[in-house]
Amino acid sequence: MSQQSKQFNNASRRNFLAQLIAAPFALNFSQDVLALKNPQFSSIAQQPPITMANAPHSRAFPFATLNSWITPTKDFFVRSHFSIPKIAPARWKLEISGAVERPRTFTFEEILKLPAVEQVVTLECSGNLVGYGGVSNGRWTGVRLATLLEACGVRADAIEAVLIGADGGSEREANDIQVPAFARAIPLTKALDKNTLLAYKMNGEMLPEAHGAPVRALIPGFYAMDSVKWLRQIVVSREAYRGFYHTERYYEARRINEKIYRAPLHDMRIKSQIARPLSNEKLALQALQIVGAAWTTGDAEITRVALSLNRGKSWTDARLGDDRAPFAWRLWSVDWMPEQAGVYEIIARAFDSREREQPMERDSTLITPYAQNHVERRIIEVG
């Protein structure tokens, strides 16, 4: 990894940041900021499905089509940095090594014999901007990662688990540096958590290739880059991992008093998004329904979504959907009859059981285009 860091440091920092901002689910970052400076006159367009020259294997969920708690597999967002590995289940193996008493290799057949666990979990790309489609909700089946780690005997001084995928190669989004594999590290406490899975089914069917077949990690409550796809190796570590996707991507950086502070990025943040109506949509003067979804981290649940139709002067509670799970989004809706023709701004704001509130404005100290969770504002015209 040291050679990768050297290659990266030799590249233009400005060029890298420009590529980072242009990555799928982080498009038009500067437009996002400018729109929020004048929210009464601007709105952020609904993000269409994405495929890009530098990320051809990524696509967004068309959020405007949201109409069910579970996202259909064909619509589920995909975020991949490299081409899709094709791994036959019969040839798949998972090696667990590092700070363990008994390093082991598990086959797919052995995984299938372990007790199965099913969970409904929302995955969100950390680069998913407000109102965009880098988020979906699925039903996952797999085995607890803790079961495998306990079979290997994790040593007392271990601090994290490095999850390594089978995908790697030339990173098109970072000056074509060579990365041997996509890898992320999670705290050992999260790896041993009963909710952390190795998933082999998605929405009742065997995991599709684009979503990490035959086995992927599923880390509920963490941004989706931690749910490493095409999992092939887990290294239990006594020290902090310093790989490319920790040091040069998927971290948090803030500028405070002209100093830049970096921190790890894992936990999803409270957020609500509007599915319909669309930004800048022109509608008839008649009853309409405003719909969307809201989510938060796994240590809480969405308890309220409030909508304003007059730029925050007054608020109306949305009706929350009946479907719920600890790590899944809540659908919400509001039936609204406009009093008169005109231009309206819709704001949707989420609240959770730990008394967290979705921020009204973008965090001005945050300089990385990740974990954006300020309220969405949409302008519509009725008449």
pTM assigned to the model: 0.87
State the CB neighbour count (10 A cutoff) for residue 300.
16
12: exposed, middle or buried (Cβ count in 10 Å: 0-12, 13-18, 19+): exposed
Summarize pLDDT for 63-118 with one digit per residue, the tens.
999 999 999 999 999 999 999 999 999 999 999 999 999 999 999 999 999 999 99
Summarize pLDDT for 256-271 with one digit per residue, the tens.
999 999 999 999 999 9
What distance in Å separates the CA atoms of residue 360 and residue 292, rounded to the nearest whole number?
A: 17
| pLDDT of res. 41 | 27
| pLDDT of res. 20 | 34
Single-letter code of the amino acid located at 183: A
| pLDDT of res. 53 | 57
- List, for the chain, all residue ranges whose pLDDT scores fall below the cut of 50: 1-23, 27-51
What distance in Å separates the CA atoms of residue 230 and residue 207, rounded to the nearest whole number?
A: 10
Summarize pLDDT for 339-379 with one digit per residue, the tens.
999 999 999 999 999 999 999 999 999 999 999 999 999 99
Contacts 24+ apart (CB under 8 A), 168-174: 168/82, 169/82, 169/83, 170/82, 171/81, 171/82, 171/244, 172/53, 172/54, 172/55, 172/81, 173/19, 173/20, 173/23, 173/54, 173/55, 173/81, 174/8, 174/11, 174/16, 174/19, 174/20, 174/248, 174/249
Side-chain half-sphere CA neighbours of 104 within 13 A:
15
What distance in Å separates the CA atoms of residue 362 and residue 376, rounded to the nearest whole number?
A: 10
| pLDDT of res. 294 | 98
Buried b (16+ CB within 10 A) or exposed e, 236-266: bbeeebebbbbebbbebeeeeeeeeeeeebb
| pLDDT of res. 22 | 36
What distance in Å separates the CA atoms of residue 231 and residue 186, rounded to the nearest whole number?
A: 14
**3-class SS of residue 338:** coil
What distance in Å separates the CA atoms of residue 325 and residue 329, rounded to the nearest whole number?
A: 8
Cis peptide before 89 (omega within 30 of 0): no
For the chain, the average pLDDT equals: 87
| pLDDT of res. 25 | 55
User: Which residues are paired to 304 by β-bridges?
Assistant: 351
| pLDDT of res. 380 | 95
